[in-house]
Amino acid sequence: MSKRNDQDALSPASVANAVEAIASPPVDLSEKTYYIHRELSQLQFNNRVLEQALDERTPLLERLKFLLIFSSNMDEFFEIRVAGLKSQLAFGHEIVGPDGIAPKQALAEISEIAHRQIARQYAILNERLLPELDEHGVRIVRRESWTPVQKRWIQRYFRQEVAPIMTPIGLDPTHPFPLLVNKSLNFIVELEGVDAFGRDSGLAILPAPRVLPRTMRLPDDICEGGENYVLLSSIIHAHADELFPGMEVRGCYQFRLTRNADLTIDPEEMDDLARALRGELFSRRFGDAVRLEVADNCPKKLTDYLLKQFGLTEAELYEVNGPVNLTRLFGIINRSQSPHLQYPPFVPAIPKALKKAEDLFQVINKQDVLLLHPYESFAPVVDLVRQAAKDPDVLTIEQTLYRTGATSEIVDALVEAARAGKEVIAVVELRARFDEESNLSLATRLQQAGAVVIYGVVDVKTHAKMMLIQRREGQKLQRYAHLGTGNYHSGNARLYTDYSLLTSDAALCEDVHKLFSQLTGMGKLLKMKKLLHAPFTLKKSLLDLIARETAHAEAGKPAQMIIKINALTDAKMIRALYKASIAGVKVELIVRGMCCLRPGIPGISQNIRVRSNVGRFLEHSRVYWFANDGDERMYLASADLMERNLDRRVETGFPIEDRKLRQRIRKELDLYLADNATSWQLHTDGSYTRLRPADGHVQHDVQRQLLDKYCGVGAPVA
């Protein structure tokens, strides 16, 4: 393996000359029309996910899953992004990005697009997916189709399991409108009559029990074959009158409220992050309202009443033709016994060097090992920690934990190591959005085992994925590191595409050790030899690499870069890419989600192509490749090109110096660039179109090709 120092190769003089040569482009790159609004770009990504529900090459239950993922994405979009824009207006602190769109205008455009997308989502569900599932024996049995025997079973279930834990809330001066939990299922009920206390307000709220499943499978002996499910909302709706004895139920309509779910912690008011987070987690359930979903048959007077209660406008009302919380239909997919309607299973590959290895340290000591998940197994990463936990020669294990999961094999191994008396240092990022509670739990578990738990740096999330093991080998201390683009989560490693590097490179391991020292202790910035790290050197180094490629183009040399990331929003990075394009650099961007850069602008970005891949696996790996006049540079990273990653997080970018490994990754990037099955191309106006093979051309599906390459299960393309 080459031991070349990539960072030292970026000499200050050469970089300064390169930057000066492109410092004054012929156009004003701050022109707002050159940028796409990030939230509007996010909606475009959500739409690409929704489109997967219509792809007939995809198994039917997987198409349903994409529709439900769209719902989940939209929930988070409203909870975080829309809530953030509304907060800016509420506090009079409006932030206008490089696109020039103010929050009020953005909210208006978001409302228009989101209403259109959500209406389309329910149309796809009702007109395509449910009828097709019915044809394959998987059905949601609606109330009007219940047979007498099914009605009796459902009524018994309601009386035994549902009614005893329901709390109807009549609305009157002594029973004000209840405080409802974020995204909970509720019903507004119209009543007629006078109750035992003489009350006749005419309205009540029915919160659905959150402890009950939202989908129940009916017993096979009361159905005519297939898998038959009934929704909790239908059960409650059918029997609402039993909850109001002596009253007449004139109408019962489901609704759901989405609230601001972002956590706000003032570092100046905080002396214990864990304690502060525990308090904020409760408040997340009751943040400000941002969206109201109601059944589309709900009378206007009731929707107006609900909007008034929550302080929302009609633009924030979503009337839907079906369940108000579609994500709960995941229960059907998880319990289904129809494997032919789902993706075929596969066994992740084990690299040849590790297949029969009993001692992982011995293998990694001889060579770097690169893994591409999920095609290659995450097990070697877990096994490395397990081996370290049991090895008497291992002295310390240091690891970052961002999204790990409540039940984690990695954490199990760290606990075992700590109990065995090894020095275990875990940097647990408590503020990983929506994983805060899980991370608090695993932090407590590690502390109880004797590990040292650090919560990172205030105001700077620790998003880097790195592990360092120090082992006594003879008379010396040998270091081993794992660096990755994804999280230490075995489940996600089966669903997300990510790279892992296992290495014993002395300089790189020393850099990892220095970064851990910066996170756990205090002191001035330590100089790294190979590792790039945010918020200090990663952004500057990437800009320098782009500037160098630009200088090569200016000198008339061939110049190219390929960047594969999840999001591109940083304005400074976008301007640098525009300058590269103006100079003639061929720029290939593979950006799964948000992209605020506009490709194809004449004279500005005509040399930039942007594509997004949406398929079976969530594209999550980050790769930065630069041709560099024949002396190519390649970095894998935990960071996307976003302000938060580059300026406000601890991130890593690590070089791939082994020539064979670089060539391997480069060939895999070429597969993405040739894909015409899962790829979408971004156009100058911000829209995307799906790439299709031209007549007579072969279809290339990168994820199927990689499955076939590593696992041997890539099915023929229809």
State the residue for tokens 């041997």.
712
CA-to-CA distance for 156 and 159, rounded, in angstroms?
Answer: 5
Residue 156: half-sphere exposure toward Cβ, Cα within 13 Å: 7
214 marked among binding-site residues: no
Give dist(CA 609, CA 508) in Å, integer. Answer: 33
256 Cβ neighbours under 8 A, 6+ residues apart:
183, 184, 185, 186, 292, 293, 294, 324, 325
C-alpha distances in Å from residue 113, one per residue of 110, 257, 599 = 5, 19, 22
How far the first Cα of the chain sits from its last, in Å, is 42
Residue 662 annotated as lining a ligand binding site: no
Is residue 419 marked as binding? Answer: no
Sheet with 138-140, strands from edge to edge, namely: 138-140, 227-231, 215-217
If you count them, how many residues does the chain have? Answer: 718
CA dihedral 705, 709, 715, 718 (to 10 degrees): 30
d(CA 351, CA 169): 60
- Distances from the Cα of 290 to the Cα of 176, 305, 423, angstroms: 21, 16, 46
Catalytic entry in 37, 463, 489, 700: 463
DSSP strand pairing (227-231 vs 138-140): parallel
Query: Alpha-carbon distance 601 to 55, whole Å?
Result: 31
The answer to whether 73 is a known ligand-binding residue is yes
Q: What tokens were used for 627?
A: 């041709």
Residue 689: helix, strand or coil by DSSP?
strand
Residue 416 CB neighbour total at 10 angstroms? 17
77 within 8 A of 42, measured Cβ to Cβ? yes
Tracing tokens 């999001």 back to the chain, one arrives at 567
CA distance 703 to 620: 13
Dig out the tokens for 683 from the structure: 């156009």
For residues 360, 364, 366, 369, the Cα torsion angle rounded to the nearest 10 degrees is 120
Question: Is 433 assigned a ligand-binding role in the annotation?
Answer: yes
Which burial class, exposed, middle or buried, applies to 6 when counting CB atoms under 10 A from its CB (0-12, 13-18, 19+)?
buried
463 annotated active-site: yes
* DSSP string across 382-403: HHHHHHHHH-TTEEEEEEEESS
Phi, psi (5° rounding) for residue 314? -65, -25
Positive or negative torsion for Cα 30, 32, 35, 37: positive
Check if the beta carbon of residue 191 is closer than 8 Å to that of residue 202. Answer: yes
Q: Which residues are annotated as a binding site for ATP?
A: 73, 496, 592, 620
* Residues with active-site annotation: 463
Q: Which residues are annotated as a binding site?
A: 73, 403, 433, 496, 592, 620
